[in-house]
Amino acid sequence: MTQREHGISRDDISENAAKVLHRLNGAGYEAYLVGGCVRDLILGLHPKDFDVVTNATPEQIKGLFRNCRLIGRRFRLAHIVFGRDIIEVATFRGHHQPESGDACEKRSKQSQEGLILRDNVFGSIEEDAARRDFTVNAMYYSLADQTILDFANGIDAIKHKRIELIGSPEVRYREDPVRMLRAVRFAAKLNMRISDATAQPIYELASLLSNIPPARLFEEVLKLLASGHGVNTYRLLKEFKLFHQLFPMLTPFLKTESGRENSFIEKVLENTDNRINSGQRVTPAFLYAAVLWYPLEEHAQKLAFESGLSQHDAFNIAMNDILHRQIQRIMIPKRFSSGMKDIWQMQHRLPKRFGRRAYQLLEHPRFRAGYDFLLIRGQIEGGDLLELSDWWTTFQDAAADTKKSMLNTLRDKEGKPATKRGTRRRRSKPKATKKSS
C-alpha cells in the first residue's frame, strides 16, 4: 500500500522512532514500524508508542546503539533509550521448531497447556506476520519508501471494524491467554466488534488466565481499566467472563447489573475515563481500592461478628486478608497497596469530624483521594453517606467562620458536649500524710 493510499505522513512519526529506522536501514538491515502504531496512524489516532521490528538480532541492534539495553527472557527485546522516550525494537519472530534439545530449549519452550514460556526463534518478515496476534496488528510501515506491507488483511479488518486473531483462535489463546484480554481491550478502544470465531473460545478458555504470572497481569489490568475506555472494557470483560478471572472475590457481588457493587465500579471507571481523556492523572491505588471495596467491607463485618473483634481491628485484619487474596491473581506493588489502605481507612475517619479532627483530616495527604472515594459511594448509596460527602464538599472550601459554624451545628445536632481550652480537670495530688514520731 502506497503513501497515497494509506495517507500516513512522515510528520506523524516519532522523531526518535525515525532515527532508529534510519540507522538500522543504513546498516543494511530491514526495519519497519509495526503493530498498534501503524494501526492507529491509519485510523487517524495518535500512537502512544512506536514499536520497530527488524531482521537484526538483539546483539546486532545493541552493537548499533550505545543507548540500547537488552531486556526479557521470554521475549528478547532491545530498548533504545532517548531520555524518557523508549523505542522498543524486536527481531522478526519465526515459527517454533519441532526439534528438542538444550539449544532449542534456550530459544523456545512451551508448557503442556500450549503456553509459550520462551520465544527467541527468529525468522523472516512473513513468519513474523504469521506470529502476530490480531490482523489489525500485522501491518508493517517502511519509512524508506513510505509503503505498508499488509500480510493478514488488516486494512480490511479496520474497514469493517473487526477484531480477529491470526490463525486458530484456540491455539493462539493457549499460546498466550493474555490475548483474550487484548481482544477485549482493542474492541473497546477502537470501537470494533470481536469476530465470532475469535470470541467463541474465550468463554471456554478464560480460566487459562490463572496460568499467567500475577506481575504481568498487573500491567495488563492497567491497560484495560486506565486507558480512557474503562467502562466499555469492564462491560466486555464481564460479558466474556474474564473479569471474574481477574477478581475472583467479586463474583458473588456482580450477579445483578443494577446492584450497588456494579454501579460503584462503573461510576469509578466513568470518572477515571473522564480524567484520562482530559489529561489528568489517575492512580492504580484508587482503581483497585474501588474494585475491592465491597468484598473488604463484607469481610470486615463478618470478622467482627464471628470473632468479637472491634470494628477497627476487624477492618485492619480484613484489609490485609483481601490484599493477600488478590495478589495471588494480580500482583499489586506495595506503593499502590499502601495507598489503597489509606483510601480505605479514610472511609472510617471521615465520619469523625468533631473538634480539631476535621481540620486535621483536611491536611492529610490522602484526604482528596479519600474524599473522592466517599463522594462516589454517596452518589451510589445515598442516605447518610450522601449527607456526609455533601458536608465535606462544603466544608473543605468554606471560609474560616463558615467552617466553625458548621462544626458548631454538627456538635449541637449530635449532642456532643463542648470543650473549652484550659478547662480540663486536673488530677488532684494526694495529700501528704504526717509521719508519726
> Tens of pLDDT along 150-168?
999 999 999 999 999 999 9
Res 430 pLDDT > 60: no
Out of 40, 119, 128, 133, pick the active-site residue: 133
What local confidence, expressed as pLDDT, does residue 429 receive?
54
Name the band, by pLDDT with cuts 50, 70 and 90, for residue 176: very high
- Distance CA(65)–CA(78), nearest Å, equals 10
Q: Output the pLDDT for position 256.
A: 86
Instruction: Assess contact for 238 and 196: CB atoms under 8 A.
Output: no
What 96-103 contacts at long range (C-beta under 8 Å, 24+ apart), as own/partner pairs, is 96/121, 97/121
Class of domain 1-160: alpha beta
With cut-offs at 50, 70 and 90, classify the pLDDT of residue 112: low
For residue 53, the surrounding DSSP H or E stretch is strand 51-54
Alpha-carbon gap, residue 118 to 247, rounded angstroms: 27
The pLDDT-based confidence of 423 (bands split at 50, 70, 90) is very low
Please tell me the predicted confidence (pLDDT) of residue 115: 56
How many Å apart are CA 376 and CA 416, to the nearest integer? 28
Q: Is the pLDDT of residue 51 over 90?
A: yes
Q: What is the pTM of this model?
A: 0.85
How do residues 266-310 score in pLDDT, each as one tens digit?
Answer: 999 999 999 999 999 999 999 999 999 999 999 999 999 998 899
| Residue 119, pLDDT score | 54
How much is the pLDDT for 354? 87
Q: What per-residue confidence (pLDDT) applies to 117?
A: 46
pLDDT of residue 373: 97
Comparing C-alpha atoms, which of 273, 193, 199, 278 is closest to residue 234?
273
Delimit the CATH 3.30.460.10 region(s) of the chain: 1-160
Mean pLDDT in residue range 169-181: 96
C-alpha cell at 428: 488532684
pLDDT at 95 over 90: no
- Mean pLDDT of all residues in 99-116: 49
For the chain, helix, strand, coil in percent to 5 are: 55, 10, 30
Q: Is the pLDDT of residue 375 over 50?
A: yes
Predicted confidence at residue 106, as pLDDT, reads: 45
Confidence of residue 251 (pLDDT cuts 50, 70, 90): very high
pLDDT of 394 strictly over 70: yes
Q: Long-range contacts made by residues 423-431, C-beta under 8 angstroms, separation at least 24?
A: none
Q: Is the dihedral of CA 349, 354, 358, 361 positive or negative?
A: negative
Q: Is the pLDDT of residue 435 over 70?
A: no
For the stretch 198-236, pLDDT in tens is 999 999 999 999 999 999 999 999 999 998 999 999 999
Determine what percent of the chain is predicted with pLDDT higher than 90.
Answer: 80
What gap in Å lies between CA 389 and CA 374, rounded to an integer?
A: 6
51 is catalytic: yes
Query: Does the pLDDT of residue 417 top 60, yes or no?
Result: no
**Sign of torsion, CA 336 337 338 344?**
positive
Annotation marks residue 49 as catalytic: yes
- The pLDDT value recorded for residue 101 is 47
Helix (H) or strand (E) holding 315: helix 311-326
Residue 330 has pLDDT above 70, yes or no: yes
Q: How confident is the model at residue 258 (pLDDT cuts 50, 70, 90)?
A: confident
Is 397 annotated in the active site? no
- What pLDDT, on the 0 to 100 scale, is given for residue 432? 53
Of 49, 321, 342, 372, which is the active-site residue? 49
What mean pLDDT, rounded, does the chain reach? 90
pLDDT value at 412 more than 90: no
Given this model, what pLDDT does residue 116 score? 46
SS3 of residue 365 by DSSP: coil
